[in-house]
Amino acid sequence: MKLFVAFHYSAEDKWVKDLVIPLIETLGIEVKTGENIHGQVIVQEVPDIIRKCDAMIAFITTSWTDHPWVRDELVTALAMKIPALEVKDSRLVNLGGITDGRQRIDFDVDKKEMLLIQVAQRLAEWKKRHNTRNLLLLPDDIMKAAKPHLNSGQLKCIYQFRDGNEESDKYEAAPFRLPQALAVNIKNIPSENAMIQLTIQGPQFSFSSGYQTFSYIPINLQPD
């Protein structure tokens, strides 16, 4: 997972670089920033970096009026429909506009340890959702049935997890073709111990599986 971190590159906000970024990296998340891109306004390089990230987190501190590019970076991510978390000093009023109604953490500057816990919890949830796996689908009959519909928008995969006694929500993904097989990219994996069941549906066919562990890759399905 790649995360863009927007913050002010000043002595006042150096704690973000010294405390928050190392914490994020210990979670196995790759951090991207615009720190090495000079200038007081957002430039083309920054949107390009944000576009290649899975999510972003923006630190809005009391110096934001002097360094408005953090807000610009937050708005850019939201416009790109990239998950974004606003972390705002509680002494500031809400920014309003496009950022209203989005994920936000208000923090007390004198209690940064509580903020670090909240950030770690939120990022752990994001990382879980962005944990992906490519599954090869069997038998070959699926490929034969699906091939005419791969580019029609009528082919879909619905999957669900079982983790212990808990069943997840159902998710949807678009199957894709490999040279000699059909595969699907799944997300939102709750844990390595979770099991998955799949249904592949087309205009005139449906294949489904029972729950299987990930050790049983590839996934075997049978006609309904």
The pair of structure tokens assigned to 146 is: 């699906």
159, 179: one domain:
yes
Count of domains forming the chain:
2
Q: Provide the domain limits for residue 101.
A: 2-129
One domain for residues 184 and 111: no
Do 123 and 139 fall within a single domain?
Answer: no
Q: Which amino acid is at 20?
A: V
Q: Is residue 176 domain-shared with residue 105, that is, in the same domain?
A: no
Q: Give yes or no: residues 149 and 198 share one domain.
A: yes
SS3 (DSSP) at 7: coil
Cα separations in angstroms, 80 against 23, 42, 124, 184: 26, 15, 22, 24
**What's the whole-number mean pLDDT along residues 150-178?**
89
Residue range 102-113, pLDDT digits in tens: 678 999 989 999
Same structural domain, 56 and 98: yes
One domain for residues 120 and 138: no
Instruction: Tell me the CB-side half-sphere exposure of residue 86, using CA atoms within 13 A.
Output: 28
Domain closes at, from 76, 97, 129: 129
Mean pLDDT across the stretch 29-35? 90
Residues 108 and 136 grouped into a single domain: no
- The CATH number for 181's domain is 2.60.40
- Whether residues 206 and 179 fall in one domain: yes
Mean pLDDT along residues 161-171: 91
The model's pTM is 0.63
Residues 117 and 183 grouped into a single domain: no
The band of 95, judged by pLDDT with boundaries at 50, 70 and 90, is low
Predicted confidence band at 43 (pLDDT cuts at 50, 70, 90)?
A: low
pLDDT band, very low/low/confident/very high, at 42 (cuts 50, 70, 90)? low
pLDDT band at 40 (very low <50, low <70, confident <90, very high): very low
36-57 mean pLDDT: 77
CB-based contact 136:148 (threshold 8 Å): no
Pairing relation of β-strands 133-138 and 181-186?
Answer: antiparallel
Q: How far is CA 7 from CA 13, 59, 65, 125, in A?
A: 7, 5, 12, 22
Q: Is the four-CA dihedral 98, 101, 102, 103 of positive or negative sign?
A: positive
How far apart CA 81 and CA 145 sit, in angstroms, is 34
